[in-house]
Amino acid sequence: MTNSTLPTLNDFLKLCKLKVVALIMLTAIVGMYMATDALPPIQLVILASIGIALASCSAAVFNHVVDQRIDTIMKRTKNRPMPEGKVNTKQAIIFGVIIGVIGLGILALWVNVLTATLTFFALIGYAVVYTMYLKRATPQNIVIGGAAGAAPPVLGWTSITNQVELDALLLFLIIFIWTPPHFWALAIHRHAEYSKVDVPMLPVTHGRAFTRLQILLYTIILFIVTLVPYLVGMCGLIYLVGAVVLGIGFLYYAVEMLRKPNDEKLPMKTFGYSINYLMVLFVILLVDHYFPLHLSQIL
């Protein structure tokens, strides 16, 4: 795709998937605060946040570069800067490399090498392994590729402690299990578009009914996994109540999708709920961390 005028700042910002990166950053920052009982040093929080955010934006830019052909065909994506010819491949790659190098550089120089390395793997995991290979290869694409999107709380955690701990991996697990119901709800709504571009998303390869069942199964597993932080003593009652209430809401949507397969609005409502679910769950994790309430204090 060629273009005669220079891209605007807004075009470059659109390539960064800023709303997705905003939620990614919430999970990373909660990871930073959960990593310590005290408050983490604010300059470390700021540097780590800038580094992780730039690396995530860089991964998103490469996703747009690789997907520009299929993005041109799908209604949901055809107005993106690359399909519209506002940013060409060379400009996007240069932008992606610059912000990626700055992000990883900040992490390596001023945070720690472990976090820089893990962030690099997450970037490659999303931009190369998921986008270039898995997405086009298997309906399990987003299950495996979800590991990159689930990494940020671990990246936040290691930014502060310089080591991977079990509690951090629990946060990873929550997002990892959350990703399939998050994405498949949208994929059910958009299944016709995915089949048009030959991307083997689960609703295309195995049908929408099977996908609805998988969404329910993953939502049940998610409900159980979100109880673990309480059961292992990582979180208190505020978290437990929040996770249960949010989880019941998610289960409600998953069951409704199975009960009402002809309700065309439900999949996108479920998708919207998934985003609010993760956002509120991570805010509650943070609140609970600084205002711990335990059963022994009440009884």
Ligand X SMILES: CC(C)=CCC/C(C)=C/CC/C(C)=C/COP(=O)(O)OP(=O)(O)O
Choice between 151 and 243, CB closer to ligand X = 151
Least distance to ligand X from the beta carbon of 183, Å? 7
Taking the least distance from each CB to ligand X, the nearer of 59 and 204 is: 59
**DSSP string spanning 83-113?**
TTTSS-HHHHHHHHHHHHHHHHHHIIIII-H
Name the E strands within the chain. none
23 contact, one of ligand X, ligand HEM, none, CB 5-8 Å limit per kind: ligand HEM
Per partner kind, with CB cut-offs from 5 to 8 A, the member of ligand HEM, ligand X, none near residue 123 is ligand X
219, 286, 277: which is closest to 245 by C-alpha? 277
> Which entry of ligand HEM, ligand X, none binds 175, CB below 5 to 8 A by partner kind?
ligand HEM
The residue to which tokens 């199964």 are assigned: 217
From candidates 63, 131, 179, 211, binder to ligand HEM by CB under 6 A:
179
Q: Is there binding between residue 139 and ligand HEM (CB under 6 A)? A: no
* Residue 294 DSSP label: -
Q: Give whole-number Cα distances, 18 to 60, 202, 269, in Å.
A: 9, 26, 21
- Quote the tokens at residue 177: 């299990």
Which x/- pattern over 247-286 shows residues binding ligand HEM (rule: CB under 6 A)? ----------------------------x--x--------
Secondary structure letter of residue 293 according to DSSP:
-
Joined together, the tokens standing for residue 247 give: 């989880």
Task: Look at residue 179 and give the partner it binds from ligand X, ligand HEM, none, a contact being a CB closer than 5 to 8 Å depending on partner kind.
Answer: ligand HEM
Q: CA–CA distance from 266 to each of 46, 112, 175, 191 (Å)? A: 39, 44, 22, 14
Q: Among 31, 83, 96, 152, which residue interacts with ligand X (rule: CB under 6 A)?
A: 152
- At 37, is the secondary structure helix, strand, or coil? coil
Site of interaction with ligand HEM (CB under 6 A): 19-20, 23-24, 27, 76, 130, 142, 145-146, 149, 175, 179, 182-183, 186, 275, 278
